[in-house]
Structure 1
Amino acid sequence: MDSFWDFFWLLLSAFFFLAYLVVLIQVLGDLLRDRELSGWWKAVWVVFLIVVPALTALVYLVVRGRGMAERGDEAAARAREAYRGASSGRTPVDQIATARTLLDSGAIDEAEYRTLKERALA
């Protein structure tokens, strides 16, 4: 590197390359997270991401950007719920015992007990 400007352009191009990689990773993560999109459409998006990556990433953000944000919010909500369940201090055995007590007392019926049991074991 002979001058300051060579170094400056190197930093600028490295920044944009890393930003581009982050966008590609976000798009691929969203593709894999989306349960409504069929496997064939996912394959088509991935092929286009390999063949024409920058244009495909921009098109994906424009076409599916809103759904991308919603899926991200849903994933964050699921992670928060999992954390709350893990940090509540109640083990699945405790939750099932509580549900059994409620069933025996008549506060819930058999279907609700099975639901609570499945949720505790999940």
Structure 2
Amino acid sequence: MDYPLLNAFWTMCLIFLWVMWLILLFRIIGDIFRSRDINNWAKTGWLVLVILLPFLGVFIYVIARGHGMSEREFAQAERQQKQLQTYLRDTVATGDETARHADSLAKLAELKNHGDITDEEFQKAKAKVLA
């Protein structure tokens, strides 16, 4: 008898395992390039091993350098988080400064429109705010 549902399930399992294998392979290749504690010849050796004998090369790499993979991944995530925080801090600070300038100019324009300051005083105050 033919079991089409079982065949579909088996095919999905094989596709899932194949995709997981490719993800693991590319993560290891990325870790080889990202690693700063080995020299370029060692990186070349690992790449040759992983590309020519993928199963054996990946298993040996995970056994030999698996612990360092997580540390390098964590360090990379921390660096990216710090860069994002620095970028956001600089951007928000610039936005706050711009908002303060806009508020000051709006107040000056309101004072000028009410006749509380002259046009010359408005221009001097505006130059101070924008400086």
The TM-score with structure 1 as length reference comes to 0.70
Match in the other structure for 1:33:
34
In structure 1, what is the equivalent of residue 125 of structure 2?
A: none
Matched residue count: 92
1:40 counterpart letter in structure 2: W
Structure 1 segments (4+ residues) deviating >6 Å: none
Structure 1, unpaired ranges of 5+: 92-122
The alignment partner of 2:37 has SS state of coil
Alignment of structure 1 residues 3-82 onto 2, 5 Å: 3-82=4-83
Q: Residue in 1 aligned with 2:116?
A: none
Deviation of 1:54 (Å):
1.2
Equivalents in 2 of 1:80, 1:90: separation in Å?
18
Q: CA RMSD in A?
A: 1.8
TM score, norm. by length of structure 2: 0.65
Structure number with the bigger relative contact order (C-alpha 8 A, sep ≥ 6) is 1
- Cα deviation code 1:74-111 (max 9, x no counterpart): 101100100000000346xxxxxxxxxxxxxxxxxxxx
Amino acid at match of 2:45: V
Radius of gyration: which is bigger? 2
